[in-house]
Amino acid sequence: MASTLALALVGVFAVYFFLRALLRLTQDDKEPPAVETTIPFLSPILGMLTHKSNFHTHMRDATGLPVYTLRMPWFRLYVVNSAPLITAVQRQFLTIAFPPIEAKAARHGMGGSKAAFDVLANDMMADGSYLRTYDAAIHPAVTLGPELDELNRASVRVLAAAIDDLQERAPQTTGLLAWVRHSMLMATTAAVFGPRNPFDDPAIEAAWLKFEPDMMFFMLNLFPRVLARESFQAREKVAAAFDAYYRAEAHLDPAASGLTKRRYQHNTEHGIPAADIGYFEIGSLFALLGSTLPAAFWMICHIFADPALLDSCRRELQAVVSQDVAGDNQLPAYVIDIARVRASCPVLLATLQEVLRVRGISTSARVVLEDHVLDGRYLLKKGATVLVPGPVQHSDPAAWGPTVGVFDHTRFLRGGKGKRHNPVAFRAFGGGVTLCPGRHFATTEILALAALMVLRFDVQPVANGVDVPWSMPPTINTPMAAAVATPDHDVDVEIRLRGPRDQRWRVELSGSGKLADIVGIVAEDIDPSSAIHAH
C-alpha cells in the first residue's frame, strides 16, 4: 500500500513539474505576464469557479497589471485592464477580431447544422461574409429612422397595456423581478416578432428562462446534453417554436418588425438552411433580452429605494406630462411622450447609466488572427482570445473617483456633480466595432417602463404583509455569460396606485427626426468621432 501511494505521489509530482516546464517553455517573455500559475493551466479555471463574475476584478486587484495572460488547457486568454490598451485593441479590429467569437458562440450556443456553421465560418473576415455584413443588414431597423420608431412604439404599447392592467389590480403583491422580467420580455418580443410572437405561449417563455442562465455551458461546449440536459431540451423547444414561426411566414405579417424581416432576409441571402433559422433566433434573443430584463429590474429597484432620487425623477417626469380632455367620456387623460422623456429627463437617463455601470458585467472578447505586438509592447499570439472585462472598468477608482463603489445617480449628469469620465471606462454596450446595435431600442424600453412606474405607482418591499426597508439582493450566482448582473433571489413588493383608479393615461412616442433624438448613453452616440469608435 505504501509503495502504491509513493508511486502515485511521484506520478503527481512528475505531471506537475512537466506542466510547469511546458508553461515556461510555451510562454514568450514578450507576452503579457502569465498569472494564476500555481497549478499550471488549471488555476485560472479554479479561480473562475471560485470568484465567478468577480474573477476579473479580483485579478486586477491582486496583480495590478495593465494586461496579463491566463494559460488554460489548449488555449490562452489575454485580459486587458488598461484603458489605453483597450483603445489599442479596438483599433485593430481586423487583426484582433470579433467575428470568430460570434461564430464559436453561434456554433455551440445556438445549435444547428454544420452547413449553417460553415456559412458563418467561411471567410468570416471578408467584406461580404455573413458576420461582417450582419450589422449593416439590420442597421436601418435599430438606428435613427422610421423602423426604430415603430419598433419602440410597438414595445411601448405593450408596456403601457401592462401598466394599465396593473392599475386595475393595484395594490398587488408580487415578485418584482418576475413581474418586470415578464413585462419586458413580452414587450420586447411582441414588438420584434409581431402578433404571432412565439412567446405568447407561456411554455416558450418558461423554456427561454430555463435555458438562458446556462448559456455558458453551450458557448464553451461543456457537454450541455449531459451537464445541462434540461437547458438543452429548453433550447430545442425555443428553436422549434421559431422554426414553426418562420415556416408559417409569420415574419411577413405587416406588424412584425423590420428587424425580424431584415434578419430573415440576411439569413436566406447568405444561404442559411431553413431548418437552422429557428436556431439562429437563439443568439438574437440573447442579444435582445440578456441585458434589458435585469437592467430594467435594477432600474426600478434603485429609483424606488432612494426617496430623493424618486422625487427628482417624478418632478422631471411630471414636467413632460400633458393633459388631453378628448374622448367619449370627456375625462382628462394624462399624456406622456416617451420621446420627451428621453430628451428632457436627465436624472432618469443618468440613473440608467449608473445602473449599467454598477450592474453591467459584460466582457468583450476577440480573437487574435495573427501575431500582433499591442501598443508596441505586448506580443499577442495568433489564436489567443483577448478579453476586455466591463466590471474592471466600471469599478476602477482611477476612472470614477473614490466613490466608485457607491451608486450615485448624479455621476453622469452634465453640468452637475457628475464629472466627465473616460469614455473607455463605460462598457455597458461594449465599444468600437462591437458596440451593441440594439442599445437605442433597449434604453428606450427601460426608460419607458421606469417612467410609467414612477409616475403611476409606489413600490414598497414587503415581508409577510408588512413593509420592510429596501435591500438590494446579492448577485453571487450571476452566470458568467451574463451582461448585467442577475439577482440571486426575487424581491417581494407591494405595488400601490398613486392616483385615482379611473385616471386615464395615454402613452405616445413621437418620431425621431435628428441625431439629438437618440439617447446619448455611450460616448459614440454623443461624439461619433470618439477615439473608441474604432474603424
Question: Binding site for heme: which residues?
Answer: 436
Give yes or no for a contact between 303 and 313, defined as CB atoms under 8 angstroms apart: yes
DSSP string, 304-365: HH-HHHHHHHHHHHHTTEEEE--STT---EEEEEHHHHHHH-HHHHHHHHHHHHHHB--EEE
Residue 294 to residue 157: CA distance in whole angstroms: 20
Residue 354 to residue 421: CA distance in whole angstroms: 12
320 grid coordinates:
413632460
Where do the H-state alpha helices sit in 31-145? 43-51, 55-63, 83-91, 99-105, 114-121, 130-142
Give every CB contact of residue 495 below 8 A, 6+ residues apart in sequence: 166, 170, 171, 172, 173, 174, 179, 457, 458, 459
Residue 403 to residue 339: CA distance in whole angstroms: 32
Give Dmax (Cα) for the chain. Answer: 95
Which amino acids are annotated as binding site, given as ranges?
436
Residue 40 CB-half CA count within 13 A: 17
Give yes or no for a contact between 282 and 239, defined as CB atoms under 8 angstroms apart: yes
Establish whether the linkage from the previous residue to 171 is cis, with ω within 30° of 0.
Answer: yes
Give yes or no for a contact between 249 and 256, defined as CB atoms under 8 angstroms apart: no
Stated as kind and residue range, the H or E segment containing 183 is helix 176-193
